[in-house]
Amino acid sequence: MDHEAALSIVIARLIGPLFLVIGIGALFNGEHYRKMIAGFLENAGLYYLSGVISLIVGLAIVAHHNIWAPDWRVIITVLGWIALFRGAVRLMAPTVGPRLASGFVVGVWPLRLGAVLVLVIGGILTYAGLVSP
């Protein structure tokens, strides 16, 4: 197995189960997640720290896994670019994110839709990480 494939499997095995747990948690504890998101958006220090962490994770993935292949590995690359972008926005324009994320606090369906999307991505990555040679 080459280095690129091994890295994809390791990242899938890390992100996949994480996303599965988050997706299930958000689906079955929606009200708690809405309160948690609201509190997070009001805490400037925590919001800034999450931007730093998101930027670092995004940069690490993009630097080491910028694979645009027509298979499951592109999901990791896209998630890396999203993390990089989110981190940069949180650090450079800290008032933009809370305005965009406020829909998850107000409505039930945006959170449920997000939870299902995270659950599906988590399922795909977990499966790929476990069944890949």
Helices and strands per DSSP (H, E), number in the chain? 6, 0
Give me the mean pLDDT over the 113-133 stretch: 93
> What pLDDT, on a 0 to 100 scale, did the predictor assign at position 101?
76
Closest CA to 98 of 24, 39, 25, 17: 39
On the question of pLDDT at 45 being above 90, the answer is yes
Give me the mean pLDDT over the 95-123 stretch: 85
On the question of pLDDT at 34 being above 70, the answer is yes
Residue for token pair 């958006």: 41
Angle at 101 between CA 76 and CA 79, to 5 degrees: 5
Q: How many domains does the chain have?
A: 1
Residue for token pair 């609201």: 38
Cα gap 22→14, rounded to integer Å:
13
Cα gap 32→68, rounded to integer Å:
36
Give me the mean pLDDT over the 8-14 stretch: 97
Tens digits of residue pLDDT in 106-117: 777 888 999 999
Q: Which domain holds residue 121?
A: 3-131
> Is the alpha carbon torsion for 70, 75, 80, 85 positive or negative?
positive
* Band of pLDDT at residue 61, cut at 50, 70 and 90: very high
On the question of pLDDT at 103 being above 70, the answer is no
On the question of pLDDT at 104 being above 80, the answer is no
On the question of pLDDT at 25 being above 70, the answer is yes
On the question of pLDDT at 18 being above 90, the answer is yes
Around Cβ 87, how many Cβ atoms within 10 Å?
20
